[in-house]
């Protein structure tokens, strides 16, 4: 089956690919042409960056970018540290209750913070953190997915390497840092890409806990930026939309192979 | 360690203190993650259940009302509408996006020309924020000058308010979500296909089996664990995915596109009724736990993993 492809199938595959790219192609078209050409496609339409300039002027996108970058970094660093420590505990220590503790961690795979918005909002309010970037990040810092993924990886680390380090007098944390972490590098990259794209794109929770420009990430900024009814025209909205997704999209195009492979690796049970 | 412990009392004590020390270390390592997991997952689950049995008065005091909120929910037509919508949304998106994902994976697994480009095209929607996707697709569905109506215009048909009509709005959202999700599921199938041994297919083709027969009788059954994994994820997604509703429909028209989580969001943050929102959340939690039980208790045991 990996061999030759029937021409009909090849045509179908390409047709589907074009359909799949069409919405994105439209967004780019509309963002890069004057408003008059937003809905009529003509090869002679002039190209322009005017829409981006106008969108940039109409909303504090620089601030939104900064917020999103701070948020994504904060979440990623927190997740990496917490997942590494917890995964190490599960992978290499025998202790009473570890089975139950692990099951309680895995529960978060099914019931993610996205679902518990009402109580989590109360918790964040009680902590006095509403409308801050930590408020967006906190519920996601302990990631069941990260713990699970790293535990699997840590379990495959050869015991001889650990013994060798122990003989040299290394304690548990030194062994973790010098043996386990370096060997788990591909898993860290995979998890990092998944985490960054998830939190760059996350919307509902940030919408709920933020209400000022100072804390709002790009996605929420884009949503308050305007629907067509508010008088902002299509070309400007698509320009803002393209700006919101551009960094991730460019990163994806540059590191396409790693991206796809890391998703592949990350998703495997 | 355990064989030593059996032989004499002193190493036994040492082994015990070793075990104790191990446990202390492990719990210290777990502590930071455990605190946050309890604070933002386990405690909220319990608090939601408790909260659903109380109502908060205007002065902030809580009054126990037992199952009153549940009875009110059972009589709430919007709740039932959201639940039924969620069912149709799941039924509309899951089988189609899984089937498409499988077809895409089979194609891009071959030595087809332009394979890299095809993978890229199929996977790209996955990395876009749902909120940006909603903005883009809003254009397709806009009456009169949207892409869909321009296409209809070519055939001499008039404009249609796609998202404003209760009979078409759900279909429109389903198509968009399939577009967004299929490429993501493709990745898992692609990973699974690459792990399959090519010998099986070769053997089948030597035996003279047709490609379709080989796929149906050999490849597809071997992909069953992946299909299960993807299906579980898709079901969970169908309860979580509501970002686009904020931009595209706000659950309308006439609640025709409301989904359960969106209704919870509305009740809690627009109508400011957090006790009723808790009651609705309990239903969502029950549905998700049901899926978890089905997966861990039944399906994982039934399906053969390599």
The H or E element that residue A248 is part of is helix A234-254
Pair B187, B229: CB distance under 8 Å? no
pLDDT tens string B8-52? 566 778 888 888 888 899 999 999 999 999 999 999 999 999 999
Asked whether the beta carbons of residue A111 and residue B240 sit closer than 8 angstroms, the reply is no
Does A208 lie at the interface with B, CB-CB under 8 angstroms? yes
Place of tokens 């917890």: A86
Q: Is B29 on the interface with A (CB under 8 A)?
A: yes
Mutate to test the interface with B, among A8, A89, A248 (most CBs of B within 10 A): A89
Phi and psi for A33 in degrees, rounded to 5? -130, 155
Residue B132 binned pLDDT confidence (cut-offs 50, 70, 90): very high
Amino acid B154: pLDDT: 79
Do B173 and B89 form a contact (C-beta atoms < 8 A)? yes
Instruction: Return d(Cα B9, Cα B11) in angstroms, integer.
Output: 6
Q: What is the mean pLDDT of residues A134-148?
A: 95
Mean pLDDT for the stretch of residues A176-198? 91
Question: Per the structure block, which two tokens stand in for A139?
Answer: 């519920």
**Chain-wide mean pLDDT for chain A?**
88
pLDDT value at B4 more than 60: no
Chain B residues near residue A116 by CB distance under 8 angstroms: 40-41, 44-45, 48, 281
Q: How far apart are CA A107 and CA B288, in angstroms?
A: 10
Q: Please tell me the distance from the alpha carbon of residue B53 to that of residue B272, in angstroms, as a whole number.
A: 17
Closest residue to B240, CB basis, from A114, A123, A267: A114
What pLDDT band is residue A104 in, cutting at 50, 70 and 90?
Answer: very high
pLDDT for B304 beyond 60: no
Cβ–Cβ contact A36 with B under 8 A:
no
Please say if the pLDDT value at position A227 is more than 60. no
What length does chain A have?
269
Per-residue pLDDT at A267:
60
Q: Indicate yes or no: CB of B23 within 8 angstroms of CB of A201.
A: no
Residue B306: predicted pLDDT: 38
The pLDDT confidence band at residue B5, using thresholds 50, 70 and 90, is very low
- DSSP notation for B87-118: HHHHHHHHHHHHHHHHHHHHHHTS--TTHHHH
Confidence of residue B208 (pLDDT cuts 50, 70, 90): confident
Confidence grade of residue A228 (pLDDT, cut at 50, 70, 90): low
What integer pLDDT is reported at residue B184 of this predicted model?
92
Q: Does B17 touch chain A (CB under 8 A)?
A: no
Three-state helix/strand/coil letters over B10-75 = HHHHHHHHHHHHHHHHHHHHHHHHHHHHHHHHHHHHHHHHHHCCEEECCCCCEEECCCHHHHHHHC
Q: What percentage of residues in chain A have a pLDDT greater than 90?
A: 57
Instruction: Please indicate if any CB of chain A lies within 8 Å of the CB of B215.
Output: yes
pLDDT at B2: 44
The predicted pLDDT at position B295 comes to: 81
Q: Which of A20, A72, A77 to mutate to test the interface with B (most CBs of B within 10 A)?
A: A20
State pTM to two decimals: 0.90
A18/B contact by beta carbon, under 8 A: yes
Confidence of residue B1 (pLDDT cuts 50, 70, 90): very low
The Cα-based distances of B288 to A84, A228, B88, B176, B253 in angstroms read 27, 36, 17, 24, 27
**CB A200 within 8 Å of CB A218:** yes
- The 3-state DSSP class for residue A33 equals coil
Nearest CA in chain A to B261: A115
**pLDDT exceeds cutoff 80 at B147:** no
Longest dimension (CA), chain B: 94
Q: Using alpha carbons, select from A99, A119, A206 the residue that is nearest to residue B42.
A: A119
CB nearest to B40's CB, from A110, A113, A228: A113
CA A146 to chain centre: 13
Span A5-57, pLDDT tens digits: 678 888 999 999 999 999 999 889 888 988 777 666 677 778 888 889 888 88
Q: Does A11 touch chain B (CB under 8 A)?
A: no
| Per-residue tokens: B81 | 């509408």
Two tokens, residue A59? 């909303």
State which residue of chain B sits closest to A96, comparing Cα positions.
B23
pLDDT at B100: 96
What is the Cα Rg of chain B in Å? Answer: 26
pLDDT tens string A83-92: 999 999 999 9
Query: Taking CB atoms and an 8 Å cut-off, how many pairs form between chains A and B?
Result: 273
Using N-to-C axis directions, what is the helix angle for B274-293 and A98-110, rounded to 10°?
110
**Closest Cβ–Cβ partner in A26, A101, A263 for B30:** A101
Residues B232-281 have pLDDT tens digits of 989 999 999 999 999 899 887 889 999 999 999 999 999 999 899 999 99
Q: State how far Cα B206 lies from the chain centre.
A: 41
pLDDT of residue B202: 78
B63 forms beta bridges with: B55
B56 vs A112, A259, B161, B267, B277, CA distance in Å? 26, 47, 41, 14, 12
pLDDT tens by residue, B55-93: 887 777 888 888 889 999 999 999 999 999 999 999 999
What residues have CB less than 8 Å from B51, skipping those under 6 apart? A118, A119, B274, B275, B278
Alpha carbons A203 and A68: distance in angstroms, whole number: 11
For residue B169, the distance in angstroms to the closest alpha carbon of chain A comes to 18
Residues of B in contact with A21 (CB under 8 A): 121, 124
Closest chain A C-alpha to B167 CA, distance in angstroms = 23
DSSP letter for each residue of A113-148: GGG-HHHHHHHHHHTT-TTSHHHHHGGGSS-HHHHH
């Amino acid at each position: 089956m990996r061999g030759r492809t029937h021409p009909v199938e090849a045509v179908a595959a390409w047709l589907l690919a074009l359909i799949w790219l069409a919405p994105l192609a439209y967004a780019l078209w509309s963002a890069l042409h004057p408003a008059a050409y937003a809905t009529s496609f003509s090869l002679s339409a002039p190209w322009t960056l005017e829409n981006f300039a106008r969108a940039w002027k109409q909303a504090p996108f620089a601030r939104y970018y900064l917020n999103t970058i701070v948020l994504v970094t904060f979440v990623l660093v927190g997740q990496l540290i917490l997942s590494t420590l917890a995964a190490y505990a599960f992978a290499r220590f025998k202790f009473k209750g570890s089975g139950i503790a692990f099951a309680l961690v895995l529960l978060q795979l099914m019931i993610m913070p996205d679902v518990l918005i009402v109580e989590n909002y109360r918790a964040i309010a009680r902590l006095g953190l509403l409308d801050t970037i930590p408020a967006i990040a906190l519920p996601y810092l302990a990631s069941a997915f990260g713990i699970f993924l790293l535990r699997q990886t840590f379990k495959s680390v050869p015991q001889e390497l650990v013994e060798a380090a122990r003989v040299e007098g290394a304690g548990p944390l030194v062994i973790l840092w010098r043996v386990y972490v370096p060997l788990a590098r591909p898993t860290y990259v995979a998890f990092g890409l998944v985490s960054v794209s998830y939190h760059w794109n996350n919307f509902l929770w940030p919408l709920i806990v933020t209400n000022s420009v100072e804390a709002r990430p790009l996605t929420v900024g884009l949503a308050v930026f305007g629907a067509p009814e508010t008088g902002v025209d299509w070309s400007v909205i698509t320009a803002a939309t393209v700006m919101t997704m551009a960094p991730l999209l460019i990163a994806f195009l540059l590191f396409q192979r790693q991206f796809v492979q890391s998703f592949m690796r990350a998703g495997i049970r | 360690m355990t064989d030593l412990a059996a032989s004499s009392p002193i190493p036994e004590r040492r082994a015990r203190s070793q075990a104790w020390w191990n446990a202390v270390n492990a719990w210290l390592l777990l502590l930071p993650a455990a605190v946050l997991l309890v604070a933002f997952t386990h405690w909220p689950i319990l608090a939601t259940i408790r909260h659903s049995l109380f109502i908060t008065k205007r002065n902030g005091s809580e009054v126990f009302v037992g199952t009153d909120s549940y009875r009110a929910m059972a009589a709430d037509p919007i709740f039932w509408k959201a639940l039924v919508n969620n069912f149709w949304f799941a039924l509309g998106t899951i089988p189609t996006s899984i089937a498409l994902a499988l077809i895409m994976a089979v194609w891009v697994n071959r030595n087809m020309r332009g394979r890299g480009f095809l993978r890229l095209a199929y996977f790209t929607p996955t990395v876009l924020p749902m909120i940006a996707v909603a903005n883009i697709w809003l254009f397709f569905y806009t009456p009169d000058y949207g892409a869909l109506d321009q296409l209809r215009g070519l055939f001499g048909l008039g404009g249609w308010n796609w998202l404003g009509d209760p009979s078409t709005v759900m279909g429109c959202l389903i198509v968009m979500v399939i577009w967004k999700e299929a490429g993501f599921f493709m990745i898992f199938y692609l990973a699974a296909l690459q792990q399959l041994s090519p010998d099986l297919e070769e053997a089948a083709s030597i035996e003279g089996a047709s490609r379709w027969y080989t796929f149906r009788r050999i490849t597809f059954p071997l992909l069953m664990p992946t299909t299960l994994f993807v299906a579980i994820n898709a079901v969970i997604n169908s309860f979580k995915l509501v970002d686009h509703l904020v931009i595209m429909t706000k659950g309308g028209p006439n609640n025709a596109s409301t989904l359960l989580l969106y209704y919870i969001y509305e009740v809690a943050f627009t109508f400011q009724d957090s006790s009723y929102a808790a009651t609705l959340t309990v239903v969502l939690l029950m549905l998700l736990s049901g899926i978890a039980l089905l997966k861990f208790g039944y399906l994982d045991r039934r399906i053969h993993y390599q």
